[in-house]
Structure 1
Amino acid sequence: MNQQANKIQNPETSVPKTPQMNERDFVNDQLTTEKYMTASYNIALNEASNQTLYQDLATIFKETQDCQRNLYNLMFKNGWYGVEQEQQQKIQQTYQQFTGYKAQLPYTIQ
């Protein structure tokens, strides 16, 4: 199947191609930083032993995650970030695989 046909992406907003950072470069750098920060806050949440600290970290994590999502949406809107469309058959296979894993658990959460 043609890989280009599976690409979901908006038309790209042009930016100057110079050695200096352009708008796309700045937004991409910020998105990468936000992704790193959400991963780090996730680890901190897992390790927090104090409930008040946990609540504060959870609030900051949510704000950081929302910022990351807004940056992703901005990049997607400008055609600077694309995603691949997966085939329905592959999605169904993965679903069945994880359904099988769930059946192997000693108890299931419904």
Structure 2
Amino acid sequence: MNSGSNKIQNPETNVPKTPQMNERDFLNDQLATEKYMTASYSTALNEASNQALYQDLATIFKETQDCQRNLYNLMFQNGWYAVEQAQQQKVQQTYQQFNGYKSQLPYTVQ
């Protein structure tokens, strides 16, 4: 973690700074593609009316989501992807906000 900041990031693995795509560029492009694909498969799952098609899409979605997660982990390990650490107060406020929504549901979520 960088001192004085809320960023969580590993030391960055150096890659050539040239006009040609490097390993980081390729992984970043693939990660963006996998994120787009998981969003698209999610929509397809919501709209699938055939059970067999739904099951096939669910399997492909899970494989795509796992691939996306592996790419994210690889980029994070190489210091090419940083995340912001949430402040505890903000986490608590968001939890209370969504916890309050339970009372608006027609049944109680346990």
Question: Given the two structures, how large is their TM-score scaled by the length of structure 2?
Answer: 0.94
Name 2:86's counterpart in structure 1.
86
The letter of the residue matching 2:28 is N
| Gapped regions of structure 2 (runs ≥ 5) | none
Name 1:43's counterpart in structure 2.
43
SS across alignment from 1:20: coil
- 1:59 paired to 2:74: no
Report how many residues are paired: 109
In the alignment, the residues of structure 2 paired with residue 6 and residue 21 of structure 1 have an alpha-carbon distance, to the nearest angstrom, of 29
CA shift at 1:67, angstroms?
0.3
- Map Cα deviations across residues 25-51 of structure 1 (whole Å, 9 max, x no partner): 000000000000000000010010010
The letter of the residue matching 1:32 is A
In the alignment, the residues of structure 2 paired with residue 98 and residue 55 of structure 1 have an alpha-carbon distance, to the nearest angstrom, of 30
Q: Which structure 1 residue ranges, 4+ long, deviate > 6 Å from structure 2?
A: none
| 2:9/2:82 contact within 8 Å kept | yes
Question: Given the two structures, how large is their TM-score scaled by the length of structure 1?
Answer: 0.94
| Gapped regions of structure 1 (runs ≥ 5) | none
